[in-house]
A and B are shown apart, each in its own frame.
Chain A
């Protein structure tokens, strides 16, 4: 019942279903269309033969319910009223309707007459990289597999100020075992610390990449150009003849007269 044929053209996969009405005149679309993310139905090809008297009224409708709402997402009705029996071959294009809209389909008959040898085929297309994580060869695939490289750092801590002492063999052997245990303990602690850091780093990287993949299709609005330019100076004063300020002249003249009187007054007193 699933996809019968495929053809590849660039990245888009085109195909058509088998006869949806092979088992009856009602069918479940999840059994007809391949359950592929991003699949769109581009057209319906149907063919059936009517058996009727020419004078009888008869309407034959091929239709699919709208799975996301009420009503139908596809409906094609042929009016056979007053027409003789015949075989109808029809292709009805659909404007790339996504798979999630396609509800159950049926051939409905109104009036008198029968339909036989029905053949309903859906043409579809889909982008195999609609979900880029579905295939490593997809252009926007983000590799989240990585190997945690762990390095156990081995070091010997020696105190250079420690005085040199001479011990007998038994004491030396006991001290050696003790140092060996301490070294093992220190190595284990270092190893665990490195692993812990590596795991934390890996988790942070995975979170960052997941966040990046979610935002991969968001347009970077920061790169938008703001139209600008230069505002040229266009204000200017027109040359004109400014009249003398009479009140200012009077004021200045009065000051001058007063000043002259003050200067002259000294000579008057000397006289």
Chain B
């Protein structure tokens, strides 16, 4: 009995406990790429517009998702200039977001299933693949008031929101 006790004591002295860490990194499976940078046209002195008819270029944003139904696209078209000359009057903003091109025909339904509020466009990315969203923006100044000369820029904010 004594020998047995001595053996157990020896075993307990050799036992070593160690915490082994497991590391992991998560990279988003939703990638947003600027396909085309928008350009404001200036058809009249009081108007800046990205529509082709007004001499502008619509911004195009591409969303790539590897898996379906894990993300939604949230795109906010501008309601203020990020840079501009000093403005003393009100700027009236309008804009729109729509699906421009699709990697799968069924993605055409994104526009049907969209949710819009204020200047925000949201739609669930329910199909894996690439979707191109086009964003238009129009700004008019005061009541038929001319914009001061200078450089103007505005920002479209595109987000991948995890569902």
Interface residues, chain A, with chain B CB atoms under 8 Å away:
47, 50, 60, 78-80, 83-90
Contacts and interface: CB of A to CB of B under 8 A. Distances in A.
A88 B101 contact: yes
B66 interface: no
- Give the size range of B's interface with the partner: 10 to 19
Given A89-B130, A89-B132, A83 B101 contact: no
Interface string B84-112: 00000000000000011111111111011
A88 B102 contact: yes
A87 B132 CA distance: 10
A87 B108 CA distance: 9
B106 A90 contact: no
B20 to A, nearest CB: 40
A83 B104 contact: no
A188 B48 CA distance: 97
Q: For chain B, what secondary structure do more than half of its interface residues adopt (helix, strand, loop), or is it mixed?
A: mixed
Given A88-B105, A89-B130, 7 more contacts: A78-B104, A78-B105, A83-B108, A84-B108, A86-B105, A88-B104, A89-B102
Q: For chain A, what secondary structure do more than half of its interface residues adopt (helix, strand, loop), or is it mixed?
A: strand
Interface of B: 99-109, 111-112, 130, 132
Contact of B112 (A50, A60, A84, A89): A84
Nearest to A83: B108
Given A89-B130, A89-B132, A80 B105 contact: yes
Contacts of A79: 105-106
B64 to A, nearest CB: 12
B102 A80 contact: no
Report which residue of A60, A78, A86, A87 has the largest number of chain B beta carbons within 10 angstroms of its beta carbon. Answer: A86
10 contacts: A47-B101, A50-B105, A60-B105, A78-B105, A84-B109, A86-B99, A88-B102, A88-B103, A88-B104, A89-B102
Contact of B101 (A60, A80, A89): A89
Given A79-B106, A89-B130, A89-B132, A84 B101 contact: no
